[in-house]
């Protein structure tokens, strides 16, 4: 049993009930325990923290009475630390991008936590690298500054908080909103050293959610398979990156060495071409045969077999050679038109 007169201030009361007295639910206990730590660390209490403390004192009024403590008497006690007005930092959400990390800082809200984790569990079968997760050390959600993470924050957080964005994150959201009506096809762009798919529908977002956005040619290859246009802001003047991000491209027979280098870098192991192409480009294909498997087919669906994974389709730049029985997919990565600019000696 306790007596209200035992407590000279609210800190003494808080210390006592946290250590061995009240039967608190886990969220109330967590708040009061954190409050005790914050009092020691900050040497002040905010008006919102004080209001919640008083609310909990009255919530456990019956338990306190059983311990010989008057809730009203505790409310009349003072804090020994300074009480300051709660500012936005303690009541609202803050989104910032620093060093390619997206940070979300917000006050505790059980409904938000439940909604957030339910969404993550429904969206992912496994938690991918880079998704926003709670950092106990930093006391905030931290993850990679990806388009998916930023859109996820922008979708869910404003449902529960007045949300403040740093200049960089706000500019990206504004840019995305301004471009969404002007870009009709999904386009992969580099904006302020971060990468985003502009104009993506829910199917594109779902299909690419586990891809680590960057300018690596293998990443551009993966994105191109979903019909995503790779913008020049990503490729610049880099020919290999442009090739990796294009489904259809053109090469001259004089560029065989470059083509071999590109194929190897993209883990392409198989080449498909029709028999007419084979007969017209024997010398060209001989060089490729040293490095890759060559599959020839008749221009007849009866002779078409499912290609090996990581294949490319070659066709000649002549009339009648554009019959393509395959579509770009996980098996057929690219369609390449081979030209021949070699002068003809007369």
332 has pLDDT over 90: no
CA end-to-end distance (rounded Å), the chain: 113
- In the predicted structure, residue 266 carries a pLDDT above the cut 70: yes
* Residue that wins the pLDDT comparison between 182 and 265: 265
pLDDT of the residue at 323: 47
pLDDT confidence tier of residue 296, bands split at 50, 70 and 90: low
- Please give the residue that has the higher pLDDT: either 78 or 91: 78
Q: 34: left (phi > 0), else alpha (psi -120 to 50), else beta?
A: alpha
> pTM for the full model?
0.50
Asked whether the predicted pLDDT for residue 327 surpasses 70, the reply is no
pLDDT in tens, 229-250: 999 999 999 999 999 999 888 8
Report the C-alpha gap between 108 and 300 in whole angstroms: 65
Between 58 and 42, name the one with better pLDDT: 58
CA distance 30 to 258: 62
Q: Parse the chain into domains and list their residue ranges.
A: 4-86, 89-170, 187-234, 247-339
pLDDT tens digits, one per residue of 184-211:
678 898 887 888 888 777 788 888 888 8
2-30: average pLDDT: 81
pLDDT band at 302 (very low <50, low <70, confident <90, very high): very low
Query: What average pLDDT does range 211-228 have in this prediction?
Result: 91
pLDDT at 259 over 80: yes
Asked if 313 contacts 334 with a C-beta cutoff of 8 angstroms, the reply is: yes
Give the residue with greater pLDDT, 303 vs 84: 84
Q: Domain 89-170: give its CATH architecture.
A: 2-Layer Sandwich (3.30)
Q: pLDDT tens digit string along 96-121?
A: 888 888 999 888 888 898 888 887 77
C-alpha 134/C-alpha 139 separation (Å) is: 7
Quote the strand ranges of 43-151, DSSP E.
44-46, 82-84, 93-98, 101-105, 133-135, 140-144
- The predicted pLDDT at position 139 comes to 82
């Amino acid at each position: 049993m306790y007596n209200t007169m035992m407590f000279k201030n609210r800190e003494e009361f808080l210390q006592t009930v946290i250590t061995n007295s009240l039967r608190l639910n886990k969220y109330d206990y967590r708040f009061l325990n954190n409050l005790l730590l914050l009092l020691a660390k900050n040497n002040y209490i905010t008006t919102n923290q004080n209001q919640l403390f008083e609310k909990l004192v009255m919530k456990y009024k019956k338990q306190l009475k059983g311990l010989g403590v008057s809730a009203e008497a505790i409310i009349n006690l003072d804090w020994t630390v300074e009480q300051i007005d709660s500012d936005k930092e303690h009541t609202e959400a803050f989104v910032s991008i620093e060093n390619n990390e997206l940070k979300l800082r917000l006050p505790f809200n059980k409904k938000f936590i439940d909604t957030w984790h339910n969404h993550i569990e429904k969206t992912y079968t496994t938690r991918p690298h880079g998704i926003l997760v709670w950092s106990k050390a930093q006391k905030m959600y931290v993850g990679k500054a990806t388009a998916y993470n930023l859109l996820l924050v922008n979708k869910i957080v404003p449902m529960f908080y007045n949300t403040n964005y740093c200049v960089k994150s706000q500019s990206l959201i504004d840019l995305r909103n301004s471009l969404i009506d002007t870009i009709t096809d999904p386009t992969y762009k580099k904006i302020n050293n971060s990468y985003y798919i502009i104009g993506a529908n829910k199917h594109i977002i779902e299909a690419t959610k586990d891809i680590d956005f960057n300018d690596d040619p293998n990443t551009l290859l993966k994105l191109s398979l979903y019909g995503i246009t790779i913008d020049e802001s990503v490729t610049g003047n880099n020919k290999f990156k442009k090739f990796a991000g294009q489904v259809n491209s053109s090469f001259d027979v004089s560029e065989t060495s470059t083509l071999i280098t590109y194929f190897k870098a993209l883990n392409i192991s198989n080449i498909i071409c029709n028999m007419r192409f084979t007969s017209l480009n024997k010398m060209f294909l001989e060089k490729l045969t040293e490095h890759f498997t060559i599959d020839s087919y008749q221009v007849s669906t009866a002779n078409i077999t499912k290609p090996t994974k990581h294949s490319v389709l070659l066709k000649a730049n002549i009339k009648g050679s554009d019959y393509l029985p395959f579509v770009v997919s996980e098996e057929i990565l690219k369609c390449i038109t081979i030209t021949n600019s070699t002068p003809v000696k007369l």
